[in-house]
Amino acid sequence: MSDSTTFIDLVRHGRVATPGLFCAPTDELLSETGWTQLTITAQTAQTNQVITSPSRRCAEFAQHFAREHDLPLQTVNAFQEMHFGDWVGLSAAEVWQQDSALLKSLWESPQDFTAPNGEALLEFAERVEHSWYELLEQYRGKRVLVFTHGGVMRVLLALALGIPYKSTMGFDLGYGSAVRMRVYEDGAVSVYGLGVRDLSCDS
């Protein structure tokens, strides 16, 4: 395999401390279970660079991991979860009670979705994709470990596979699980792990 092939592991944060949230605020802590989930997934990672969302549920573990393994760490603001506006900090049941039709549109027609006082999904996807291309340029030929969010991972899966965001809703991206990608010199992307918890093997 060419030395210019880039290996990227996208890891979703672990379970958060407050159960049942539709979307956690940026300062939400990981639960003990969430910390364990990330420890199990990341322990076999082979990487040259750690990247994290600034959200606390990603950043605190990323800082710990980078320090323990003496790795450089970069925070990328664009890899934060989509901003759900007035729905941040609410439970899924509360969101459903407030506006079930709008919530259903997130799954049925996500390209048209914007939460109340939140970020449009298309704007979210644009910022994620922009930073993705910057990452590929900066870390070409490296192994990169990214701690991020389910929505970010779905945007990048849609981009890599050439499918609509809606089609990624069928992928199981549980807490602490990873999506593994190879990016070749010509820009082609191979997704070779989906929802995995073992980062020890490249095949």
Which pLDDT score, from 0 to 100, does residue 3 have?
79
Q: How many folded domains does the chain comprise? A: 1
Whether 137 maps to a domain, the answer reads yes
Residues in the chain, pLDDT under 50: none
Whether 54 maps to a domain, the answer reads yes
CATH number for position 129: 3.40.50.1240
Range of the domain at 140: 6-196
Whether 80 maps to a domain, the answer reads yes
Predicted TM-score of the model (pTM): 0.95
Closest CA to 58 of 150, 186, 130: 150
Whether 176 maps to a domain, the answer reads yes
As a residue count, the chain comes to 203
Whether 202 maps to a domain, the answer reads no
Whether 1 maps to a domain, the answer reads no
Which pLDDT score, from 0 to 100, does residue 192 have?
95
pLDDT digits 0-9 by tens, 72-104: 999 999 999 999 999 999 999 999 999 999 999
For residues 149 and 109, what is the distance between their CA atoms, to the nearest angstrom?
20
